[in-house]
A and B are shown apart, each in its own frame.
Chain A
Amino acid sequence: MSTFLGMPGHLRGVESFPRAAHRGLTNATQRHNLTHATTTIRDKRAAVVAELDDWQELRAAGSAIKRDVLARLPELLEQFEAAVTARGGIVHWARDAAEAGAIVTDLIRATGETEVLKVKSMATQEIALNEQLAAAGIHAQETDLAELIIQLGHDTPSHILVPAIHRNRAEIRDIFLAGMPGVDPDLSTEPADLAEASRVFLRTQFLRTRVAISGCNFGIAETGTVSVVESEGNGRMCVTLPQTLITVMGIEKLLPTYRDLEVFLQLLPRSSTGERMNPYTSLWTGVTPDDGPQEFHIVLLDNGRTRALADSVGREALKCIRCSACLNVCPVYERAGGHAYGSTYPGPIGAILTPQLTGFESADDPNGSLPFASSLCGRCNEVCPVEIPITDILLELRHRKVTEYPPVPEATMMQTLTQLWSHPRLWNAAAGMVALGRVLGGRDHTITSVPGFLGGWTSVRDVAVPPKQTFRQWFAGSEAQHLLTAARRGAEGEA
Chain B
Amino acid sequence: MSDAKDAILRRIRDAEAQAAAAPEGRVARSYRTSTESTAGQRRELLIDRLLDYRAMVREATPTELPATIAAVLSEAGATRVRYAPGLDAALLARFDGEALPDDPSSDPRLLDRVDAVVTDSHVTAAATGTICLQAGPTNGRRALTLVPDCHVCLVRDESVVYGVPEMVARLDPLLPVTMVSGPSATSDIELSRVEGVHGPRRLIVILVHPGPPEATPG
Contacts and interface: CB of A to CB of B under 8 A. Distances in A.
Interface string A88-129: 000011110001000100000000000000000000000000
B217 interface: no
B192 interface: yes
A261 interface: yes
B76 interface: no
A195 interface: yes
B38 interface: no
Given A240-B108, A285-B174, A312 B20 contact: yes
Contact of B198 (A95, A220, A236): A236
A251 to B, nearest CB: 7
A77 B1 CA distance: 15
A146 B188 contact: yes
B170 to A, nearest CB: 11
B197 A195 contact: yes
Interface stretch (A66-74, A330-338, A409-417): A66-74
B184 A279 contact: yes
A195 B174 contact: no
B177 interface: yes
Contact of A231 (B31, B146, B184): B184
Interface string B141-152: 111001100000
B129 A279 contact: no
A241 interface: yes
B215 interface: no
Contacts of B197: 145, 195, 198-199, 231-234
Contact of A87 (B7, B135, B174, B186): B174
A478 to B, nearest CB: 65
Interface string B101-120: 00011001100100000000
Contact of B168 (A67, A149, A258): A258
Nearest to A196: B196
A277 B28 contact: no
A288 B175 contact: yes
Contacts of B183: 279
A394 B12 CA distance: 23
A165 B190 CA distance: 7
A404 interface: no
B19 A280 contact: no
A283 interface: yes
Contact of B180 (A202, A259, A279): A279
B178 A202 contact: no
Contacts of A442: none
Nearest to B11: A306
Contacts of B181: 275-280
Contact of A277 (B12, B20, B129, B186): B129
Nearest to B7: A95
A425 B218 CA distance: 88
A26 interface: no
A315 B174 CA distance: 31
B138 interface: no
B142 A236 contact: yes
Interface stretch (A53-61, A342-350, A448-456, A464-472): A53-61
A60 B20 contact: no
Interface stretch (A13-21, A36-44, A360-368, A427-435): A36-44
B12 A162 contact: no
Contacts of A145: 186, 188-189, 197
Interface stretch (A4-12, A178-186, A262-270, A381-389): A262-270
A281 B178 contact: yes
A190 to B, nearest CB: 9
Nearest to B135: A291
A207 interface: yes
Interface string A190-202: 0110111011001
A57 B32 CA distance: 9
Contact of A223 (B21, B173, B182): B173
Task: Decide if the interface of chain A is mainly helix, strand, loop or mixed.
Answer: helix
Contacts of B13: 74
B173 A280 contact: no
A309 B19 contact: yes
A164 interface: yes
Given A60-B28, A279-B184, A279-B185, A290 B141 contact: yes
A251 B198 contact: no
B130 interface: yes
B198 A234 contact: yes
A60 B30 contact: yes
A27 interface: no
A302 interface: yes
Contacts of B49: 276
Interface in B51-99: 53
B21 A290 contact: no
A284 B8 CA distance: 25
Contacts of B141: 290-292
Best-buried of A162, A195, A273, A285 by chain B (most CB within 10 Å): A195
B18 to A, nearest CB: 4
A130 interface: no
B24 interface: yes
Nearest to A256: B27
A307 B180 CA distance: 38
Interface in B1-49: 1-2, 4-5, 7-9, 11-16, 18-24, 27-33, 49
State the 7 A-B residue pairs at the shortest beta-carbon distance, nearest first: A233-B199, A233-B198, A306-B11, A310-B15, A232-B197, A309-B15, A146-B188
12 contacts: A40-B190, A74-B9, A95-B4, A143-B198, A199-B196, A223-B173, A233-B197, A234-B198, A236-B142, A236-B178, A280-B184, A309-B12
Interface of B: 1-2, 4-5, 7-9, 11-16, 18-24, 27-33, 49, 53, 104-105, 108-109, 112, 125, 127-130, 135, 141-143, 146-147, 164-165, 167-169, 171, 173-192, 194, 196-200
Interface of A: 33, 36-37, 40-41, 53-54, 57-58, 60-61, 64-65, 67-68, 70-74, 77-78, 87, 92-95, 99, 103, 143-146, 149, 162, 164-165, 168-169, 172, 191-192, 194-196, 198-199, 202-203, 206-207, 220, 222-223, 225, 231-234, 236-237, 240-241, 251, 258-259, 261-263, 265-266, 269, 273, 275-285, 288, 290-292, 300, 302, 306-307, 309-312, 315
